[in-house]
Amino acid sequence: MDCRISTPFTKEKAAELHIGDMVYLTGTIYTARDAAHKRMMEAIRQGRPLPFDLHNSIIYYMGPTPARDGRPIGSAGPTTAGRMDAYAPTLLDLGETGMIGKGRRNEAVRQAVIRNGAVYFAAIGGAGALLSKAITSAEVVAYEDLGTEAVRKLTVQEFPVIVVMDSKGNDLYEIAASKYCTE
Amino acid sequence: MREINVAAITSCVRQMCMDANYHLSPDMQARLFEAAETEQSPLGRQILEKLKENLEIAAADQIPICQDTGMAVVFVEVGQEVHLTGGDVSSAIQEGVRRGYQDGYLRKSIVRDPLTRVNTGDNTPAVIHYTIVPGEQVRITVAPKGFGSENKSRLFMLVPADGVDGVKKAVLQTVREAGPNACPPMAVGVGIGGNFEKCACLAKQALLIPTDQQSEDPQIRKLEQELLAEINKTGIGPAGLGGTVTALALHVKTYPTHIAGLPVAVNICCHVNRHETMVL
């Protein structure tokens, strides 16, 4: 099913989505990859504030290429989500409701998704040029020294993603291949 | 003896870093376009159409096909009749990478130390492989390699008794484990033989072979065809969301090996299998 979703991404909105749904996101999302996640975890441990409010937030696992003049961002496709598995359950427990990346997640993430009624979306890997067209603004909000890994606040307009793990913990990757497997 | 100033090498490397990141080679692009026609899954076809559109935008806007503009891998074949002048050739190559990634708005993805992990800020150093060959030319290939797929690559030290079935099992296992993480449809480079490090290098070089080129060795040609067909039966499909096109290309390179060994390396690459070559 195709649907359009605006941020903030509440649990009510998350509950309506099912694996295989094509979702067009509009609103505000935040980028963070390995190094930014590590710093956020340190901030949580030390009781320091996070770069943005996690409540009903969507984190996009992405590190862009530099923007050319007159553009908000460069190429901007998803990175492998599994590298964030060590950190994601903590952030989900603190209010994050959506993750965008690509590739499989571990069982701890799946359990955190179920526990919190969150959703894991896949963006098309290797389609960074195309995906950049759905980003209308980008601003570094934390950890600027990390370069491409800094936390960015993105404004997106009909950003295309696919639900690969829904709030019930169903995993599209687990079932997708079997349909076309001819071994 | 022919003299070549290393400044020319800097200039070539700079240009190839940019070109490789904005354009796929025509053979790789043709395979992707073909896949968009033959894929059986409707969602898979939709994804492949998006990847086609992505290539058009990248070329038109001079924006990288993928945000992971890779670690630059540079293969240099130096003719033994060539005298390189004007400075250190390795520094000249690194300077070319530095300028290409800066001037081309490419991502800087390299950290100085694998454990302390501070970004070098200019995407250097590249990984450089030199070979000395007959002649008076210098042939340079730049292959920026993304790590979503590099992380899913594997090396197996099989034993001779494992034979061709063992090789197939290793390749299929690697592809299955890579699955959606390596941004399928993939290109697969397989190295068989040599020793530990030679085998890995063969796999990397196998990714540079044009998609329409087949091995001259009938036995290897058959192996390539069988492996590609078997990979496409896994059902992994475009973006790992199910389908009949999981790999666009697979090539095998071999080298003599030891009586006790059968090394197999599988270098996985996503569909953004980038490489540019120039001859000086």
Q: Domain check: are B177 and B121 in the same one?
A: no
Q: Domain check: are B9 and B101 in the same one?
A: yes
- The residue among B38, B57, B67, B145 with the most chain A CBs within 10 A of its CB, best to mutate, is B67
- Domain-embedded: residue B41: no
Look at residues B18, B209, B124, B236 and name the one whose alpha carbon lies nearest to residue A68.
Answer: B18
Q: Chain A residue closest to B43 (CA)?
A: A20
Per-residue pLDDT tens digits for B16-70:
999 999 999 999 999 999 999 999 999 999 999 999 999 999 999 999 999 999 9
Residue B269 has pLDDT above 90, yes or no: yes
Q: Is A161 on the interface with B (CB under 8 A)?
A: no
| A103–B235 C-beta distance less than 8 A | no
Q: Domain check: are B77 and B190 in the same one?
A: no
Per-residue pLDDT band at A183 (split at 50, 70, 90): confident
DSSP annotation of B121 reads S
Integer Cα distance of B73 and B124 in angstroms: 10
Integer Cα distance of B138 and B126 in angstroms: 18
Per-residue pLDDT tens digits for A53-93:
999 999 999 999 999 999 999 999 999 999 999 999 999 99
Q: Tell me how far apart the 2 most distant CA atoms of chain B are, in Å.
A: 59
Q: Chain A residue closest to B272 (CA)?
A: A126
DSSP annotation of B33 reads H
Integer Cα distance of B263 and B151 in angstroms: 19
User: Which residues of chain A lie closer than 8 angstroms to B183, CB-CB?
Assistant: 102, 125-126
Consecutive H or E run containing B4: strand B2-5
Per-residue pLDDT tens digits for A13-69:
999 999 999 999 999 999 999 999 999 999 999 999 999 999 999 999 999 999 999
- The pair of structure tokens assigned to B64 is 């990288």
Residue B48 CB partners (closer than 8 Å, separation 6+): B32, B35, B36, B39, B185, B238, B245
What pLDDT is stored for residue A70 in this prediction? 92
- Domain-embedded: residue B29: no
| A75–B63 C-beta distance less than 8 A | yes
- The pair of structure tokens assigned to B51 is 């990847």
- The residue among A19, A31, A62, A80 with the most chain B CBs within 10 A of its CB, best to mutate, is A80
| A66–B105 C-beta distance less than 8 A | yes
Q: Domain check: are B88 and B154 in the same one?
A: no
CATH placement of domain A2-170? 3.20.130.10
User: Which residues of chain A lie closer than 8 angstroms to B43, CB-CB?
Assistant: 20, 162
Q: Domain check: are B212 and B118 in the same one?
A: no
- Domain-embedded: residue B220: yes
β-pairing, A151-165 vs A22-31, is antiparallel
> Average per-residue pLDDT in chain B?
97
Q: Domain check: are B10 and B136 in the same one?
A: yes
DSSP string, B39-103: ---HHHHHHHHHHHHHHHHHHHHT--SSS---EEEEEEEEETTEEEESS-HHHHHHHHHHHHHHH
User: Which residues of chain B lie closer than 8 angstroms to A75, CB-CB?
Assistant: 58, 63-67, 69, 107
Look at residues B48, B143, B104, B109 and name the one whose alpha carbon lies nearest to residue A62.
Answer: B109
Of B94, B111, B145, the position where a domain reaches its end is B145
- Domain-embedded: residue B216: yes
Q: Can you tell me the mean pLDDT for A5-10?
A: 97
What pLDDT is stored for residue B178 in this prediction? 96
- Domain-embedded: residue B45: no
Residue A111 has pLDDT above 90, yes or no: yes
**How many CA atoms lie within 13 Å of B70's alpha carbon, on the beta-carbon side?**
29
Residue A165 CB partners (closer than 8 Å, separation 6+): A19, A105, A109, A110, A113, A119, A120, A171, A172
Per-residue pLDDT tens digits for B129-176:
999 999 999 999 999 999 999 999 999 999 999 999 999 999 999 999
Picking from A80, A82, A128, the nearest residue to B64 by CB comes out as A128
- Domain-embedded: residue B40: no
Residue recorded with tokens 């799946």 = A110
DSSP annotation of B181 reads G
Q: Domain check: are B15 and B135 in the same one?
A: yes
SS3 state of residue A50:
coil
**B125 preceded by cis ω (within 30°)?**
yes
- Residue A21: how many other CB atoms lie within 10 Å: 19
Q: Domain check: are B113 and B6 in the same one?
A: yes
- Domain total of chain B: 2
Give the ipTM of the model, two decimals please.
0.92
Residue A1 has pLDDT above 90, yes or no: no
Per-residue pLDDT tens digits for A152-162:
999 999 999 99
Q: Are B222 and B207 in contact (CB under 8 A)?
A: no
Residue B1 has pLDDT above 90, yes or no: no
Residue B192 main-chain phi, psi, to 5 deg? -130, 125
- Residue B217: how many other CB atoms lie within 10 Å: 12
Q: Domain check: are B114 and B191 in the same one?
A: no
Q: Chain B residue closest to A171 (CA)?
A: B241
| A172–B108 C-beta distance less than 8 A | no
Integer Cα distance of A180 and A175 in angstroms: 10
Residue recorded with tokens 């996503």 = B270
Q: Can you tell me the mean pLDDT for B178-204?
A: 97
Q: Can you tell me the mean pLDDT for B177-185?
A: 95
User: Which residues of chain B lie closer than 8 angstroms to A35, CB-CB?
Assistant: 117
**A8 preceded by cis ω (within 30°)?**
yes
Query: Taking the domains of chain A in order of start, what are their residue ranges?
Result: 2-170
Give the residue numbers spanning the domain of B243: 148-273
